[in-house]
């Protein structure tokens, strides 16, 4: 697909500076782009490439002041990074909207209900009493268990598995290999040293505009629901245990793990490989640094913690600064000890 600068300017409310008829058919990085590609400039560190790039169109900030002449067409916007992200989203929507119809081989139970303009790729399996909304896209190998509900405009990429009774609201994106609704890790220790499985009879509810990365696992509740609130974004390789609640607009980076029945507030940020124990609460706006281990509830909103066990970030920085000074402090203590010994000897000699 080809687009002119004038067409792109309409999509992002940009002001054209240069040839309004310049065309592009793909995207590129400003330092590597060639003719027919569109790129953006938001970071001043890359400004030097503005004057040498072969890109046909560049999205830039309104505030950018040119230091020399350029050959390319500029689209000026208040925030080049956000405008470029918006454009990529629109482009992706256009691509996915072209997908429709039911490919074979695939299985669709007779009791399933399909909305308008759905795309069901080959090797998909749709079980009894499934409800699929409008404009839903299911890529190859998707499995939907009994009574699963998928809201409008959801996209499930290859090999996503959603177990019985789970619910996805509207505009949810789930990337390849993720499993939603697998059994929670529930086992009761027995007197003979074995473990008896506790049936997991709840479900998972994922609200609007949630995005989940590849190969994540979100366990069904023992009873009730594991809930991912609207706007939350989960990276690849994340474990969310049974009965966890993730608050609105929270973000969780790769390889983080959240143990059972823990409640995250809204706008929580969790760094990669962080671990959170079960049955605690995390206040709104909390920031948890990468590889931190959170072992108790965080009750004060907008707290930042780091380390394992996690504690206040500012205090951690002070501790790190003190640790760096330990060799010098050790040297000073040694010198003071020598001075004290010398003074004691002098005192003894005087006596």
The catalytic residue positions are 242
Cα separation, 155 vs 134, in Å, equals 11
Strand ranges of the sheet holding 293-294, from the earlier edge strand across to the other edge:
107-108, 125-126, 143-144, 161-162, 179-182, 217-219, 239-240, 257-258, 275-276, 293-294
Cα separation, 245 vs 225, in Å, equals 8
Nearest CA-CA partner of 270 in 247, 287, 248, 246: 287
Q: In sequence order, what are the residues at sequence separation of 6 or more whose Cβ sits closer than 8 angstroms to the Cβ of residue 109?
A: 126, 127, 128, 129, 130
Distance (Å) of CA 178 to CA 31, 174, 184: 35, 7, 15
Burial of 59 per CB tally in 10 Å (0-12, 13-18, 19+)? buried
DSSP-H helix ranges across the chain: 5-12, 80-97, 313-324, 326-350
Distance (Å) of CA 140 to CA 121, 126, 159, 235: 5, 12, 7, 21
| SS3 call for 23 | strand
* Maximum C-alpha span of the chain: 106
Assess contact for 255 and 238: CB atoms under 8 A. yes
Assess contact for 34 and 55: CB atoms under 8 A. yes
Nearest CA-CA partner of 41 in 91, 86, 80: 80
Q: Which two three-digit tokens encode residue 293?
A: 């281990």
């Amino acid at each position: 697909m080809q687009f002119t600068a004038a067409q792109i300017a309409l999509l992002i409310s940009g002001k054209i500076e240069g040839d309004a008829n310049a065309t592009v058919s793909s995207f590129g990085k400003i330092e590597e782009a060639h003719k027919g590609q569109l790129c953006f400039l938001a970071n001043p560190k890359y400004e030097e490439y503005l004057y040498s790039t072969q890109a046909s169109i560049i999205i830039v900030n309104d505030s950018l002041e040119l230091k020399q002449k350029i050959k390319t067409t500029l689209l000026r916007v208040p925030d080049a990074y956000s405008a470029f992200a918006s454009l990529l989203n629109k482009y992706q929507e256009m691509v996915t909207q072209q997908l429709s119809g039911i490919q074979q081989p695939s299985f669709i139970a007779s009791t399933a209900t399909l909305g308008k303009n759905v795309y069901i790729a080959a090797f998909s399996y749709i079980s009894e009493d499934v409800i699929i909304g409008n404009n839903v896209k299911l890529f190859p190998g998707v499995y939907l268990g009994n009574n699963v509900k998928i809201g409008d405009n959801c996209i499930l990429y290859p090999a996503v598995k959603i177990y019985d009774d789970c619910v996805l609201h509207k505009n949810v994106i789930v990337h390849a290999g993720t499993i939603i609704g697998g059994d929670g890790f529930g086992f009761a220790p027995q007197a003979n040293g074995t473990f008896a499985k506790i049936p997991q009879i709840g479900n998972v509810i994922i609200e609007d505009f949630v995005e989940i990365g590849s190969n994540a696992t979100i366990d069904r509740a023992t009873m009730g629901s594991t809930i991912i609130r609207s706007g939350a974004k989960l990276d690849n390789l994340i474990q969310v245990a049974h009965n966890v609640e993730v608050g609105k607009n929270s973000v969780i980076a790769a390889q983080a793990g959240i143990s059972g029945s823990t409640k995250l507030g809204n706008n929580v940020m969790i760094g990669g490989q962080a671990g959170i124990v079960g049955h605690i609460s995390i206040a709104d706006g909390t920031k948890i640094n990468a590889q931190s281990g959170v072992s108790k509830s965080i009750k004060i909103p907008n707290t930042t913690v780091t380390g394992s066990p996690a504690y206040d970030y500012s205090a951690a920085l002070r501790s790190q600064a003190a640790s760096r000074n330990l060799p010098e402090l050790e040297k000073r203590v040694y010198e003071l000890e020598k001075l004290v010994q010398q003074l004691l000897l002098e005192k003894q000699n005087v006596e």
